[in-house]
Amino acid sequence: MAGGRSKRETEIKLRLSSAAQGRRLLKRAGFRLARRRTFEANTIFDTPSRDLFAAGSLVRLRRSGRVHTLTFKGPAVFAKHKSREELELEVADAGALGQIFARLGFRPVFRYEKFRAEYAQPGHSGLVTLDETPVGVFLELEGRPEWIDATARRFGFAEADYVTTTYAGLYFAYCRQRRRKPGDMVFARARKRVLS
């Protein structure tokens, strides 16, 4: 396993009509591509009785390109922004990690996919990602609360537009609205080929 990092994550999401809209907003606001569009596959692990979910925490294994990242997120504080502890490290052998999880009583409980591109603004520490998911397109703004608010305003959004729900929460709401049985939030394989 490679070097880990711990931080407090503060973020919001902004719902978009399309990825093209997001790229236009980012370009006009002076953001530059920091990491090209990459497919991500995420798996959430929990106990059979969903102990982590009950505590408001999660353990996630993400594959982005050839990199696997293990993440722990603590309980979120929901206000205008969502804030929570985040611990991350790169994993050299995701298969072995899955076996360890199984031995510890953890199992995959939810999978979700997205295409993500990262953008940064010279001279600022905040990060914006453009996320294309099976349930919509979002800008995710992560940084200091005052930077998030100023950046959202530059994009033409108000506080009422802030989304602090997780992608899993957005997916389950999407399924409820459409009276669909939820499963995993993944792209249809044919669509995935088109988006690649």
- pLDDT at position 7 is 85
Contacts of residue 170, Cβ cutoff 8 Å, sequence gap at least 6: 133, 135, 136, 163
Assigned domain for 196 exists:
no
Q: Residue 94, CB half-sphere, CA atoms under 13 Å: how many?
A: 16
Q: In angstroms, how far is CA 11 from the centroid of its own chain?
A: 10
149 residue type, one letter? D
Assigned domain for 121 exists:
yes
Could you list the residue range(s) of the whole structural domain that residue 128 is in? 4-191
CATH number of the domain that residue 82 is part of: 2.40.320.10
- pLDDT at position 106 is 97
Give pLDDT tens digits for 75-120.
Answer: 999 889 999 999 999 999 999 999 999 999 999 999 999 999 999 9
Assigned domain for 165 exists:
yes
CB 186 within 8 A of CB 111: yes
What is the tally of structural domains in the chain? 1
Q: How far apart are the first and last CA of the chain?
A: 29
Assigned domain for 12 exists:
yes
Mean pLDDT of the region 56-63: 96
Classify 78 as helix, strand or coil. strand
Assigned domain for 172 exists:
yes
Confidence label for 38 from pLDDT (cuts 50, 70 and 90): very high
**pTM of the full structure:** 0.90
Give pLDDT tens digits for 137-147.
Answer: 999 999 999 99
